[in-house]
């Protein structure tokens, strides 16, 4: 619509004032004014030689006379509020109705790959609430960018090496008594996480004992025997000690099985997994090349650094003096390997905002190494998730486990549905599927409706409310529409023409915005734009549903149109929620 209006306004300016501007400022009309689109006329006053009000009125009168799409206008100072005719909106709706999955673009077969990294867990503990925000953001953005017409590949790097992994291994060796997921009845990631927490508990006890014996705190932390065992195990792992590697393989396999079960329940997946145990060596080769070209430099102790002071940062270590890699070494190698694997056009890293500085450094280093695609790398930085009870701490075992949280959400939706008595006559298996759909939908929507940049407070009870800006409210709207469809026994045919109500016009306008909303969400890497759009659409439709008759309208054409409108709202809700990774049920 904007493109059509822009041409007509250019014609008006050319004929009225012999002026052809390079751009026109068209905005959505504010809710407190009548109109659909607003033209800002201040830029044209120098050529009109008239007041803002006079200029706006002259342009408005020209458009009314020349365009069948515009039926009226009003002027507020230098703003021309244009009302598009109801007939135009109905014709627009017919076009939308006859377009399957309106707003969703299919990628061209050979278009470049847009790479999205998310999750990237450690294999010493299960996934928790913080991971859930990461995973949901990354997965949703991958779907949104795909819907905007780009080929997308989803990847994760699994942090499966390092001292933190060895801590779980040492604790299991010392205190595990050969416990396995099968013998304990625990998911593998939960079992390994249990020993990570146990290590920290035993370590702190030993440190306290050493301090009581007169050790300084720093020395006690360095010389605690359990910590020295973990350090030694890491060295043995790097030497590829067969016994250590066998234990590492065994415990990691437990964790991978656990992660996979969590991912499956969340409804997410990946196209390729990378493992830190493989990728950390890739960066070392790049560092050698960078040293030869003068990108990096060596200090006297043999450590390798890069000086980024000219870019307003500081010196950054790339390799330790003993030749071992740091995180950024691994990330350099992994990024290059991914380009070799996918020849991507863009790469997005979904990582918390505590790593903002890390990614500034990473992208700069890749640029200095001559990789032009580094300019197309983006850090999707997001805020932490808090609970009403406070911040989570992995080492102390106070995190909210992802599996426990999902189970709690499903149980909550079960209790609410039973209290409301909405599922009488529904089979137990169908009811259980619905509880899962509503509970996990509530979790996903509540997290994704918040701007990623903001720190957020997750309140499970609030998220499952059937009123307000929640997943269940939107799911219920969709189920309501499906009920209408079930109850209409005839074929639904869209009328050739009909007089529509103002509320119907507003719904059509909202649906017509869907392609623009997808692009805005994709370009800003913000699923919250989709989430709040689908909430506004659902709210508009519910107000409409409660104020007019649909199946009992006065004539067949009206019934058919209102059903068509309802069905297209339902399709748009379903597609919007799908972009958030949320299922919608046919019945609630």
For 270-321, how does the pLDDT look when each residue is reduced to its tens digit (9 = 90+)?
999 999 988 888 888 899 999 999 999 999 999 999 999 999 999 999 998 9
Tell whether the model's pLDDT for residue 424 goes beyond 80. no
Buried b / exposed e over 557-582, threshold 16 CB at 10 Å, is bbbbbbbbbbbbbbbbbbbbbbbbbb
Compute the distance between CA of residue 422 and CA of residue 160 in angstroms, rounded to an integer. Answer: 46
Please state, rounded to an integer, the average pLDDT across all residues of the chain.
93
Q: 432-484, pLDDT tens digit by residue? A: 999 999 999 999 999 999 999 999 998 888 898 888 899 999 999 999 999 99
State yes or no: pLDDT of 570 exceeds 80.
Answer: yes
Is residue 421 scored above 80 in pLDDT? no
Return the C-alpha torsion angle 294, 298, 303, 305, nearest 10: -40
Q: What is the pLDDT of residue 71?
A: 87
Per-residue pLDDT band at 69 (split at 50, 70, 90): confident
Region 76-82: mean pLDDT is 93
pLDDT at 467: 86
pLDDT-based confidence at 141, cuts 50/70/90? very high
What pLDDT does residue 393 have? 47
Distance between CA atoms of residues 79 and 27, nearest Å: 10
Fold of 402-579: Isoleucyl-tRNA Synthetase; Domain 1 (1.10.730)
Q: Name which of 12-21, 47-56, 417-426, 429-438 the model is least confident about.
A: 417-426
pLDDT given at position 504: 97
Strands (E), 400-496: 456-457
| pLDDT reported for residue 396 | 47
The first and second tokens of residue 218, run together, are 């720093």
**Residue 395 pLDDT level (bands cut at 50, 70, 90):** very low
Categorize the per-residue pLDDT at 391 as very low, low, confident or very high, splitting at 50, 70 and 90.
very low
- What is the pLDDT at residue 394? 42
- What integer pLDDT is reported at residue 313 of this predicted model? 93
What does the pLDDT read at residue 343? 96
Q: What integer pLDDT is reported at residue 485 of this predicted model?
A: 96
Residue 417 has pLDDT above 80, yes or no: no
Q: What is the pLDDT of residue 460?
A: 83
pTM confidence score: 0.91
Nearest to 402 by CA among 555, 232, 262, 193: 262
Dump pLDDT digits (tens) for 201-223.
999 999 999 999 999 999 999 99
Distance CA 185, CA 219 (A): 39
CA 121 to chain centre: 17
10 Å Cβ neighbour count for 215?
16
Which residue matches tokens 């370009």? 523
pLDDT at 186 over 90: yes
Q: Is residue 158 within 8 Å of residue 223, measured between CB atoms?
A: no
| CA 115/CA 373 separation, integer angstroms | 12
Residue 533 has pLDDT above 80, yes or no: yes
Give bridge partners of residue 306 from the DSSP assignment: 316
Task: State the Cα–Cα distance between residues 22 and 523, nearest whole angstrom.
Answer: 24
Instruction: Give the DSSP letter of residue 99.
Output: S
Say yes or no: do domains 2-84 and 402-579 share a fold. Answer: no
Domain 2-84, CATH among 2.40.30.10, 3.30.1360.70, 3.40.250.10, 1.10.3720.10: 3.30.1360.70
Domain map of the chain by residue range?
2-84, 161-270, 402-579
């Amino acid at each position: 619509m904007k493109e059509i209006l822009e041409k007509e306004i250019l014609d008006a300016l050319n004929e009225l004032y012999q002026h052809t501007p390079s751009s026109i400022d068209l905005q959505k009309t504010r809710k407190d004014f009548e109109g659909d689109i607003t033209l800002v006329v201040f830029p044209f006053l120098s050529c009109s030689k008239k007041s803002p009000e006079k200029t706006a009125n002259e342009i408005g009168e020209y458009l009314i006379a020349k365009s069948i799409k515009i039926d009226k206008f009003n002027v507020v100072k230098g703003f021309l509020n244009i009302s598009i005719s109801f007939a135009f909106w109905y014709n627009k709706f017919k076009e939308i109705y006859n377009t399957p999955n309106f707003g969703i673009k299919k990628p061209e077969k050979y278009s470049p790959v847009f790479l999205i990294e998310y999750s990237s867990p450690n294999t010493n503990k299960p996934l928790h609430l913080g991971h859930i925000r990461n995973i949901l953001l990354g997965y949703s953005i991958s779907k949104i960018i795909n819907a905007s017409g780009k080929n997308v590949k989803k990847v994760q790097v699994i942090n499966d090496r390092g001292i933190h992994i060895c801590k779980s291994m040492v604790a299991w060796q010392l205190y595990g008594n050969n416990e396995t997921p099968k013998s304990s009845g625990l998911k593998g990631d939960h079992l390994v996480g249990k020993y990570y927490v146990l290590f920290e508990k035993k370590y702190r006890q030993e440190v306290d004992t050493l301090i009581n014996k007169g050790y300084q705190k720093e020395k006690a932390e360095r010389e605690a025997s359990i910590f020295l065992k973990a350090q030694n195990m890491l060295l043995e792992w790097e030497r590829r000690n067969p016994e250590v590697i066998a234990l590492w393989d065994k415990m990691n396999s437990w964790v991978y099985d656990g992660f996979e079960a969590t991912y499956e329940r969340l409804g997410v997946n990946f196209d390729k997994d990378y493992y830190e145990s493989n990728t950390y060596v890739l960066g070392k080769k790049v560092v050698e090349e960078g040293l030869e070209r003068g990108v990096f430099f060596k200090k006297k102790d043999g450590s390798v650094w890069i000086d980024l002071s000219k870019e307003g940062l500081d010196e950054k270590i790339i390799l330790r003096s003993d030749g071992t890699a740091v995180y950024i070494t691994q990330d350099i190698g992994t990024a290059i390997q991914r380009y070799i694997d996918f020849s991507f056009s863009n790469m997005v890293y979904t990582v918390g905002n505590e790593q903002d500085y890390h990614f500034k450094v990473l992208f700069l280093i890749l640029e200095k190494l001559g990789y032009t695609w580094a300019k197309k790398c983006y850090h999707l930085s997001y805020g932490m998730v808090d609970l009403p009870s406070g911040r989570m701490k992995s080492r102390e075992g106070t995190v909210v486990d992802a599996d426990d949280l999902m189970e709690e959400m499903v149980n909550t939706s079960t209790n609410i549905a039973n209290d409301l008595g909405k599922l009488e006559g529904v089979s137990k298996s169908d009811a259980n599927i619905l509880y899962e759909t509503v509970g996990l939908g509530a979790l996903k929507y509540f997290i994704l409706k918040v701007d990623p940049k903001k720190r957020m407070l997750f309140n499970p009870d609030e998220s499952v409310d059937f009123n307000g800006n929640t997943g269940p409210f939107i799911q219920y709207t969709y189920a309501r529409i499906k009920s209408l469809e079930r109850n209409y026994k005839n074929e639904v045919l869209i009328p050739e023409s009909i007089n529509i109500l103002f509320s119907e016009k507003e719904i059509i306008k909202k649906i017509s915005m869907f392609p623009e909303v997808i692009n805005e969400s994709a370009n800003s890497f913000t699923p919250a734009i989709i989430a709040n759009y689908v909430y506004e659409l659902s709210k508009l439709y519910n107000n409409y549903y409660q104020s007019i008759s649909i199946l009992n309208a006065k004539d067949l054409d009206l019934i058919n149109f209102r059903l068509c409108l309802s069905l297209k709202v339902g399709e748009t809700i379903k597609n919007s929620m799908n972009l958030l990774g949320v299922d919608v049920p046919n019945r609630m």
